[in-house]
C-alpha cells in the first residue's frame, strides 16, 4: 500500500537547526532488536571474551622463559606476543603499531564512517554492558526515566545500590584483566584474591576499573561527544561514498503521526514515532542530518525498520548507506556501493606498506645487536711512550636463550691497537667476551693506540665475531687524542 514519493525537502527541526549537543542528562536508550543490535552483541561478546581470556593463553618459549602468550614484562623489560619478543631497544615497533592502528582507523572511516565507534570502541562496549544491567535491574527506557524522577526512598536506594554494585563488579574485572597482561595471569590472580599482590597491582585495578565505572556508567555519551577527539575529525576522512547512518528526508517528509491502515498518499513515510531518537545511545535525532554525536551504531536503523514493517512500508527509511546512494534513490536511479576509491586505495596502500615493513623487520631482525658509546670524562688519556688510551661502553644484546661466546677485535688502524676489558682479558689485539642468554652484556673497553701528530679523531671499527656461527657485527666509532 505504498506510494512512490517525489523528493521533498526535510521539515525543519523545531529548534531551527542541528544543535552541537543538547545536555539532557545521562542518555537512556531504549532496547531494540534487529541486525545491527545483533552485530553489536556479537562484537561485545568477542571483544570482552578476548580481553578477559587472552592473558590465560599459554605459549612455550623454552626453559626459563615466560609461558604466557601475551605479556608485558615490566621487570624483565620485555613485551611478548606469542612468538614475537620485543626488547626496550625496539620501541620503534610500538611506533609502527600506532601508525598501523591510525591508518586502519582512517580506512575504516572512509569505508563505513564511525563503525569503530559504534561497534568496536571500548567505551561503546562497556556502555552497552552497563545499560544492559540497568535494563534488567530497573527496566526499559520509560521505566528508567520514571525511576530517575521518583523521590528518594529505601526501595530506590536499594535498586541504585544493586545496579552500582554490579557496575563496580564489571569495572573491577576490567581493571583486573588489565593487570593480568603485566604478569603471569594465574599467579597474579592468586595474589590478588589472597591479598598478597603488591600495592601497585591494586592501584592499577582501581585506576582502570574506576575509569571504566565512571565513563561507561555515568559519563557515557559525553565521552563520545566531548572527550573523544575522533568525533572532531572523522568526517574529514569520509566522502559521499562512505557508508554512514542517514535519514532519507526525500522519502520521509513531510512527517506526521498516522493511524494503522491510514493511507500514506501525499505525505512522507516518517510517522514521527521518535523511536529512532529513543534507541540512540547518544540521544540525537538522526532526522536532523549528519551530526557529530552520531557514533554510527545503526540502532536507529533497526528501530525504524521495525516501524516500517508494521505499516507495510519499505525498509531503510533510515539506512547505513552512502549519501550518493540516497541521492540516487531520491532521483529514481540505481544505487551502487563504491568501496574502491582514491581515498580508500591510498589508505589501503599506506596500510599495506606499513604492515609489510613491520613484518619484514620482524622476520629479518638480527638476534644480536651491539651499541658502542665513546667515553667523555676524559675523552682520551696520554700514556707514557706516546700511547693514547680511549674508553668505551660496549654493550652486546643477546636475544637468544643460551649463552654465547664472542671475539672482539679492532679493525685496521695505523700503528695497531690493543684492547683491554675491565675485569677480563686485556693487552691483546683480540679479547673473548661471554654474554648470558636473553640479556645485555655490558663491558668497559679500553683501546690503546699510538699517538698522531695531527691530533685529530681517527675512525675505528670494532669487530665482534661469533666463532660458532661466523656471525660478525662491525661497530663504527673513533679514536680521539688527549686534547680533543
**Across the chain, which distance is largest between two alpha carbons, in Å?**
112
CA atoms of 177 and 54, how far apart (whole Å): 9
Opening angle at CA 182, ends 180 and 183, nearest 5: 75
CB count within 10 Å of CB 334 equals 7
Q: What is the pLDDT of residue 452?
A: 63
Instruction: State the CATH architecture for 368-479.
Output: Sandwich (2.60)
Rounded-to-integer distance, Cα 87 and Cα 74, Å: 11
pLDDT of residue 262: 80
Instruction: Going from the first residue of the chain to its last (484 residues), give the mean pLDDT of each consecutive group of 10, the final group possibly shorter.
Output: 39 45 68 95 96 94 87 89 88 90 92 91 94 93 90 92 96 96 94 94 96 94 87 82 90 86 84 92 89 90 94 91 86 84 93 93 89 86 83 92 91 82 80 91 90 73 92 91 70
Residue 453 is predicted with a pLDDT of 58
pTM of the model as a whole: 0.82
Q: CA–CA separation, 184 vs 66, rounded Å?
A: 8
Rounded distance, CA 297 to CA 120, Å? 10
Q: Cis omega before residue 254 (within 30°)?
A: yes
Tell me which long-range contacts 30-33 makes (C-beta under 8 A, separation of at least 24): 30/140, 30/141, 30/142, 30/275, 30/278, 30/279, 30/303, 31/135, 31/140, 31/141, 31/279, 32/275, 32/279, 32/299, 32/302, 32/303, 32/306, 33/302, 33/306
Cα angle value 136/47/285 (rounded, 5°) = 60
CB 223 within 8 A of CB 215: yes
Output the pLDDT for position 14: 42
Of the candidates 176, 50, 57, which has an alpha carbon nearest to the alpha carbon of residue 125? Answer: 50
* Residue 46 CB partners (closer than 8 Å, separation 6+): none
Nearest-angstrom CA–CA distance, 295 and 117: 5
Residue pair 415/472 in contact by the 8 Å Cβ criterion: no
DSSP class of residue 21?
A: -
For residues 273-308, one letter each, b for 16 or more C-beta atoms within 10 angstroms of the residue's C-beta and e for the rest, the string is: bebbbbbbbbbbbbbbeebbbbbbbbbbbbbbbbbb
Task: List the beta strands (DSSP E) in 226-378.
Answer: 244-247, 318-321, 368-374
Which residues are registered as beta bridge partners of 420? Answer: 426, 446
Distance, first Cα to last Cα, the chain:
94
Give the span between the Cα atoms of 275 and 273, in whole angstroms: 5
Amino acid at each position: 500500500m505504498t506510494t512512490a514519493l517525489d523528493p521533498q525537502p526535510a521539515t525543519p527541526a523545531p529548534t531551527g537547526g542541528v544543535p552541537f549537543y543538547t545536555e539532557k542528562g545521562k542518555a537512556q536508550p531504549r532496547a531494540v532488536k534487529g541486525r545491527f543490535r545483533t552485530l553489536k552483541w556479537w562484537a561485545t561478546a568477542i571483544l570482552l571474551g578476548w580481553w578477559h581470556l587472552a592473558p590465560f593463553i599459554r605459549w612455550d618459549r623454552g626453559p626459563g622463559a615466560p609461558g604466557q602468550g601475551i605479556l608485558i614484562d615490566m621487570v624483565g623489560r620485555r613485551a611478548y606476543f606469542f612468538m614475537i619478543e620485543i626488547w626496550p631497544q625496539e620501541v620503534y615497533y610500538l611506533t609502527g603499531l600506532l601508525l598501523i592502528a591510525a591508518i586502519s582507523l582512517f580506512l575504516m572511516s572512509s569505508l563505513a564512517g564511525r563503525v569503530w565507534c559504534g561497534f568496536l570502541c571500548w567505551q561503546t562496549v562497556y556502555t552497552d554492558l552497563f545499560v544492559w544491567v540497568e535494563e534488567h535491574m530497573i527496566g526499559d527506557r520509560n521505566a528508567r526515566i520514571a525511576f530517575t524522577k521518583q523521590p528518594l526512598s529505601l526501595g530506590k536506594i536499594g535498586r541504585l545500590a544493586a545496579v552500582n554494585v554490579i557496575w563496580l563488579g564489571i569495572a573491577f574485572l576490567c581493571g583486573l584483566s588489565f593487570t593480568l597482561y603485566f604478569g603471569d595471569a594465574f599467579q597474579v590472580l592468586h595474589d590478588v584474591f589472597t591479598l598478597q599482590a603488591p600495592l601497585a597491582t591494586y592501584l592499577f585495578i582501581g585506576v582502570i576499573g574506576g575509569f571504566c565505572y565512571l565513563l561507561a556508567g555515568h559519563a557515557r555519551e559525553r565521552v563520545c561527544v566531548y572527550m573523544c577527539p575522533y568525533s572532531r575529525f572523522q568526517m574529514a576522512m569520509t566522502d559521499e561514498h562512505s557508508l554512514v547512518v542517514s535519514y532519507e528526508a526525500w522519502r520521509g517528509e513531510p512527517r506526521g503521526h498516522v493511524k494503522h491502515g491510514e493511507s500514506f498518499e501525499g505525505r512522507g513515510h516518517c510517522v514521527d514515532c521518535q523511536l529512532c531518537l529513543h534507541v540512540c545511545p547518544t540521544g540525537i535525532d538522526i532526522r536532523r542530518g549528519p551530526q557529530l554525536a552520531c557514533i554510527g551504531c545503526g540502532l536507529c536503523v533497526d528501530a525504524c525498520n521495525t516501524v516500517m514493517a508494521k505499516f507495510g512500508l519499505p525498509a531503510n527509511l533510515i539506512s547505513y548507506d552512502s549519501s550518493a546512494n540516497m541521492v540516487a534513490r531520491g532521483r529514481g536511479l540505481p544505487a551502487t556501493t563504491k568501496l574502491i576509491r582514491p581515498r580508500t586505495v591510498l589508505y589501503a596502500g599506506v596500510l599495506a606498506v606499513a604492515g609489510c615493513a613491520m613484518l619484514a623487520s620482524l622476520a629479518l631482525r638480527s638476534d644480536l645487536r651491539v651499541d658502542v658509546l665513546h667515553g667523555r670524562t676524559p675523552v682520551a688519556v696520554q700514556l707514557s711512550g706516546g700511547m693514547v688510551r680511549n674508553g668505551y661502553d660496549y654493550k652486546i644484546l643477546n636475544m637468544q636463550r643460551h649463552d654465547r661466546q664472542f671475539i672482539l677485535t679492532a679493525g685496521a688502524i695505523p700503528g695497531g691497537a690493543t684492547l683491554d676489558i675491565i675485569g677480563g682479558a686485556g693487552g691483546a689485539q683480540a679479547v673473548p667476551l661471554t654474554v648470558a642468554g636473553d640479556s645485555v652484556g655490558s663491558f668497559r673497553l679500553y683501546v690503546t693506540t699510538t699517538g698522531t701528530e695531527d691530533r685529530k679523531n681517527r675512525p675505528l671499527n670494532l669487530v665482534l665475531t661469533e666463532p660458532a656461527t661466523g656471525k660478525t657485527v662491525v661497530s663504527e666509532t673513533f679514536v680521539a687524542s688527549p686534547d680533543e
